[in-house]
Amino acid sequence: MINLTINGKAIQAPEGSTILEAARANGIDIPTLCYDKAVEIYGACGLCVVEAEGIPKLLRACSAKCTEGMNINTESDRVVQSRKIAMELLMSAHDGDCVAPCQLNCPAHTDCQGYVGLIANGEYDAALQLIKKNIPLPASIGRVCPHPCEKACRRKNVEEPINIAQLKAFAANIDLNQAESYIPECNEKTGKRVAIIGGGPAGLTAAYYLTVMGHEVTVYDMMEKMGGMLRYGIPQYRLPKEVLDKEIALIEKTGVKLVNNVKLGKDFTIESLKAENDAVIVAVGAWKSSSMRTPGEELKGVYGGIDFLRAVIKGNPPEIGERVAICGGGNTAMDACRTAVRLGAKEVYVIYRRTRAEMPADALEIDEAEEEGVIYKFLTNPLSFNGENGKLKSVTLQLMELGEPDASGRRRPVPIEGKTEEIALDSVILAIGQKLVQEDVKELHLNERGNIEADPDFFTTDLEGVFAIGDATNRGASIAIEAIGEADRCARAVDAYLNGQALDTRVPYISKRDESTIDYADREKAPRRNPKVLPPEVRNKNFEEVSLGFTEEEAKEEASRCLECGCREYYKCKLLNVAQRYDIHPERWEGVMPQKYTRDANAFIERNTAKCILCGLCVRSCREVMDIHALGLMGRGFGTEVSPAFALPLDQTKCNNCGLCVQLCPTGALTERSVLKKQVPLDETYTEETIDIDGTKASVLVSRYNGKVLRVIPNDEVSRNAGLSREALFEKIQ
């Protein structure tokens, strides 16, 4: 044994061992992407460099031998800088998506690709549980979300995006209709207490996740029932309240205490809750309709959008008459106009100052409203609401045209001088936005917009231990999924605060494909499926749910359209693990990609050259361990790539599908096409074996060659979801 020091720690190592071996034996992590015990040392990636006292150059830990008295630093500034450059160079030539664009565009960062894929495979319970890692109200959100995920879905480049939102609702509906719906297991009680003011989507989400973390949570709400704008701002025909009730009941079953009919500033204050709790979250929402500042808004018959919808939902709709106009082009305007139709209005207009193409409302809502008889007045804007004896009589509209784009990128509407139109009306509904009731939160500091000022990363306010989220904060009202995403992150911030820990808000690096290189020509066109809906002449007379939802066959067919953009190796990708360890900027080395984005597959292995970093592990394992030589390094210099000889398909090589190359690949350039037992060739070299994972029995398939374990394949839900590394699986078998 020889003596040496690594990072100030005195250790011993067998004579002849490498620095990497000595470090790993003593729990010191040195990153590497081209090293594995199964093959000879190669030193290609350059990531395992370390600094040794008295030696001017950096050493590659995978090959440099330990010497007596050696003093090693594995994380010096010089080492880190070298690794960062090496990683940047590797990532600059790595063309792959770590995470699917749909997930990146979801404010709650829901694993859309994951649950869509599970639905395609008929694994509905697993899909629901995956969704609930980010959204505790999936049946409700699946019905009402304007699905920003779908706007980023690459399937639109083939024909139409995947119907992600309705697939979410499908999985959640199945769970709600089961005898025992899914309830997550909660951590041990921490003894910490959290009060949440507001029982809307933000407050309920924060309560759900904090309870799962083991804290005692009480939600206080001013309304008769929980749900916030999901209950009091969205009509029954879009979101049946029975569905919302079931989901809230499941949140309550986790241990959340719900208290209704209590108001901030009247029944309690933020300070009084602070005195009784370890933390307070303010999620009061935005309950005040925005004004258009148009002459005549004070007339009888002029209503705020959310005030109107809330009155209808509570069972006391206002008298709107037969001729109604709605001002606005968002989803609240669609809810208001379709509600007016159902209340019996004969003429319902939507006044919008831009064109149909610029309307922010969901296209399906716009179309369905028109089918129900709504009349659109595009490129018009109210000049005045005209009355008689204090009652609305008509609206004067200014005719508009589109000018130059504004800050939002949409062309700015400008008046056409001298052109107006007057429409006789009984009522008008202003659906142009909503804002915070400032008197409710006078204990907190407000920003220039009149909203609660909260830190965008930690959600802290100017009061110690008080956090704020949702429509009442910073930019103001937004969509429910935004509030849910904020609440999820806030729950982690509060948990860290309660535990006296620092919260890491650094955004980890991920790889994204160059969109311009993606070719969709080989994709078979399959039109998007939308759930069947009630006929217009039936649905416009009642508040029954319009959408009939997906059947199982329809859901699986729609889910099967997914292009699976995100990498299946995301959770165990060694390349990504190292990339996220350092603050890297591969764009500094941006240039022409050295490899084409090509795919090659057989029944068991899928090969994607664009993700390859030329570590050589696949080539060397195929040659040194299996003596097959199915893969090689082809070409020279910058254009080198891993390929079968003569660029043959894998099926035409000597490849025996042992899977060793897949197990060693650090990037996802080589992946298993399937881990399903029925698709693995179970012959004399394969055995089904049982391993223990955290006290639970799990099934794996073990491949041996001449008595040597070559690969271990997860073979059931327990082993697949564990996300264990190759080394960890091998250790459990051996």
Residue 385 or 606, more confident: 385
List every span in the chain annotated with CATH 3.50.50.60: 193-287+435-498, 294-430
Phi, psi of 712 (to 5 degrees): -125, 120
In the prediction, which pLDDT does 675 show?
A: 43
pLDDT band at residue 684 using 50, 70 and 90 as cut-offs: very low
User: Residue 683 has what pLDDT?
Assistant: 40
Q: What is the pLDDT of residues 399-426, one digit of tens each?
A: 999 998 888 787 889 999 999 999 999 9
DSSP assignment string, 480-537: HHHHHHHHHHHHHHHHHHHTT--------------GGG---TTSPP-PPP---B--HH
Which of 341, 328, 345 lies closest to 368 in space, CA to CA?
Answer: 341
Q: 224 Cβ partners below 8 Å, 6+ apart?
A: 260, 261
Confidence of residue 682 (pLDDT cuts 50, 70, 90): very low
Check whether 486 has a pLDDT greater than 50: yes
**Would you state the torsion angle of the CA atoms of residues 303, 309, 315, 316, taken in this order, to the nearest 10 degrees?**
0
Give CA–CA dist 193/274, Å, rounded: 10
Specify the range with the lowest mean pLDDT, choosing from 210-219, 371-380, 586-595, 639-648: 586-595
pLDDT digits (tens, 9 = 90+) for 53-65: 999 999 999 999 9
pLDDT one-digit tens code per residue, 227-259: 999 999 999 999 999 999 999 999 999 999 999
- Across the range 271-292, mean pLDDT stands at 96
C-beta separation of 580 from 63 below 8 A: no
Q: Which residue has the higher pLDDT, 25 or 676?
A: 25
389's torsion region: left (phi>0), alpha (psi -120 to 50) or beta?
left
Q: Indicate if the alpha-carbon torsion angle 717, 722, 726, 729 is positive or negative.
A: negative
pLDDT higher than 50, residue 526: yes
Q: Hey, which bits of 335-410 come out as E strands?
A: 347-352, 375-378, 380-388, 391-405
Split at pLDDT 50, 70, 90, the class of 659 is confident
Q: What is the mean pLDDT of residues 374-378?
A: 98
For the domain made up of 193-287+435-498, give the CATH fold.
Answer: FAD/NAD(P)-binding domain (3.50.50)
Q: Return the ∠ at Cα 483 (arms to 580 and 723), rounded to 5°.
A: 35
CA atoms within 13 A on the CB side of 56: 0
* Per-residue pLDDT at 679 exceeds 50: no
**pLDDT tens digits for range 597-649:** 666 777 778 888 888 999 999 999 999 988 888 899 888 777 788 888 888 88
What does the alpha-carbon distance between residue 541 and residue 546 come to, in Å, rounded to a whole number? 11
Over residues 76-126, the pLDDT tens digits come to 999 999 999 999 999 988 889 999 999 999 999 999 999 999 999 999 999
Q: Which two tokens stand for residue 322?
A: 């037969």
Structure tokens that stand for 40 in this block: 């000879």
Compute the radius of gyration of the chain from its Cα atoms: 30
In the structure, what pLDDT confidence band is assigned to residue 657 with cuts at 50, 70 and 90? confident
Lowest mean pLDDT among 209-213, 400-404, 516-520: 516-520
Among 520, 323, 502, which residue's Cα sits nearest to residue 428? 323
pLDDT for position 596:
60
Higher pLDDT, 446 or 699: 446
- In this predicted structure, the answer to whether residue 680 has a pLDDT above a threshold of 60 is no
**Tokens in use for 214?**
């083991």
Distance, C-alpha 206 to centroid of its chain: 16
DSSP type of residue 570: G
Per-residue pLDDT band at 723 (split at 50, 70, 90): low
Whether residue 373 has pLDDT greater than 70: yes
C-alpha–C-alpha distance, residues 184 and 177, integer Å: 17
- What spatial distance separates the first Cα and last Cα of the chain, rounded to whole Å? 26
Lowest mean per-residue pLDDT among 171-180, 356-365, 495-504, 676-685: 676-685
C-alpha to C-alpha distance for 491 and 495, rounded to whole angstroms: 6
With tokens 């948990």, the residue in question is: 495
Residue given tokens 């925005």 in the structure block: 290
> CA 583, 584, 590 angle in degrees (round to 5)?
160
331 near 239, Cβ under 8 Å? Answer: no
Q: How confident is the model at residue 305 (pLDDT cuts 50, 70, 90)?
A: very high
| Cα separation values, 168 from 40, 241, 524, 534, 562, Å | 48, 18, 24, 20, 14
- How far is residue 489's CA from residue 184's CA, in Å, rounded to a whole number? 18
Residue with tokens 């709107």: 320
- Residue extent(s) of CATH 3.30.70.20 domains in the chain: 586-733
What architecture does CATH give domain 294-430? 3-Layer(bba) Sandwich (3.50)
Mean pLDDT of 583-604: 76
For domain 2-75, the question of CATH label 3.40.50.970 is answered with no
pLDDT in tens, 307-356: 999 999 999 999 999 999 999 999 999 999 999 999 999 999 999 999 99
| Sign of the CA dihedral with 30 first, then 33, 34, and 36 last | positive
Residue at token pair 């078998």? 733
Give the angle subtended at the CA of 485 by the CAs of 479 and 487, to the nearest 5°. 105
Q: Could you tell me the fold of the domain covering 586-733? A: Alpha-Beta Plaits (3.30.70)
